[in-house]
């Protein structure tokens, strides 16, 4: 059967997510030699179901769907499978698209891979140099527990690598909140904090909402913030999604499909 890769992003009203998805999809195509299409769960074009139809129309009979997400959640367990025409929460199955039988495989997000912790560690060096700041790892949050577990795991790995005063928090749905994590860091005596977003790309959350919670300018790399009665220097790192090592993780996932 003719195989194709469907590379799925979240989508955003800003263009950053699409730029990262398109760049990583192109890198994956170059590495594998397999045709790669991109699609988005919401907001950005093309949507997942339309991309599937285009792939099948071009002769693809076996689709490997790769959600370029940090962690699972309702989008992964419910929304995207529905759009792919496979059972919710399943690893894939057979479906019919435009009258043609198609096999679809659904891969899982990459957030538990140790490469992601490596990337976070490099972000600390990038924003702080040789300093020893407190660290706050932040995630989006989810109504399901997957995002919390992935963020917590990566924070714990940073602690195991010798970083002291590592905290984690979430923008919504989960606790502790970002505000709670920053409170704990400041009250522990931190006067310098590296904030590490475990997000694919910038967007409204990272560019607008979270800077407001941190007390730094929007669309900035940080600044001096007055938090809980103290001045604190905030280093605000960039998201992880554009790192080329993530393609290595995806290539490894594809080996089971003979790619």
Active site residue 16: no
Nearest to 42 by CA among 5, 83, 86: 83
Q: How far apart are CA 232 and CA 229, in angstroms?
A: 10
CA distance 166 to 153: 12
Asked if 82 and 89 count as a contact pair (C-beta separation under 8 A), the reply is: no
Q: Which residues pair with 169 in a beta bridge?
A: 138
C-alpha to C-alpha distance for 211 and 205, rounded to whole angstroms:
9
Question: What are the Cα distances from residue 50, in Å, to 44, 58, 164, 215?
Answer: 12, 13, 47, 41
Please list, residue by residue across 99-130, b when 16 or more beta carbons sit within 10 angstroms of its beta carbon and e when fewer do: eeebbbbbbbbbbebeebbebbbebbeebbee
For residue 78, count other CB atoms closer than 10 A to its CB: 13
- What tokens were used for 258? 């003979």
User: Residues 194, 120: contact at Cβ < 8 Å?
Assistant: no
Distance CA 9, CA 119 (A): 20
| Active-site residue, selected from the candidate residues 10, 16, 140, 205 | 10
Q: Return the active site residues.
A: 10
């Amino acid at each position: 059967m003719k195989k194709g890769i469907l590379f799925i992003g979240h989508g955003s009203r800003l263009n950053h997510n699409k730029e990262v998805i398109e760049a990583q999809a192109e890198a994956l195509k170059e590495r594998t030699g397999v045709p790669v299409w991109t699609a988005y769960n919401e907001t950005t074009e093309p949507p997942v179901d339309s991309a599937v139809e285009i792939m099948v129309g071009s002769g693809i009979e076996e689709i490997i769907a790769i959600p370029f997400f940090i962690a699972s959640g309702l989008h992964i367990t419910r929304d995207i499978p529905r759009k792919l025409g496979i059972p919710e929460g399943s690893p894939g199955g057979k479906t019919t698209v435009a009258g043609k039988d198609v096999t679809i495989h659904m891969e899982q997000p990459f957030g538990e891979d140790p490469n992601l912790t490596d990337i976070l560690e490099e972000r600390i060096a990038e924003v702080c140099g040789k300093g020893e700041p407190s660290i706050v790892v932040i995630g989006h949050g989810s109504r399901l527990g997957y995002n919390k577990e992935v963020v917590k795991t990566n924070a714990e790995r940073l602690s195991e690598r010798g970083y002291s005063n590592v905290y984690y928090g979430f923008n919504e749905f989960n606790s502790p909140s970002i505000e709670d994590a920053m409170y704990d860091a400041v009250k522990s005596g931190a006067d310098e904090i590296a904030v590490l977003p475990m997000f694919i790309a910038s967007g409204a959350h990272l560019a607008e909402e979270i800077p407001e919670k941190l007390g730094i300018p929007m669309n900035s790399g940080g600044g001096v913030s007055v938090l809980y009665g103290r001045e604190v220097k905030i280093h605000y790192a960039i998201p992880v999604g554009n790192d080329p090592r993530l393609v290595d993780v995806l290539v490894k996932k594809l080996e089971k499909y003979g790619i």
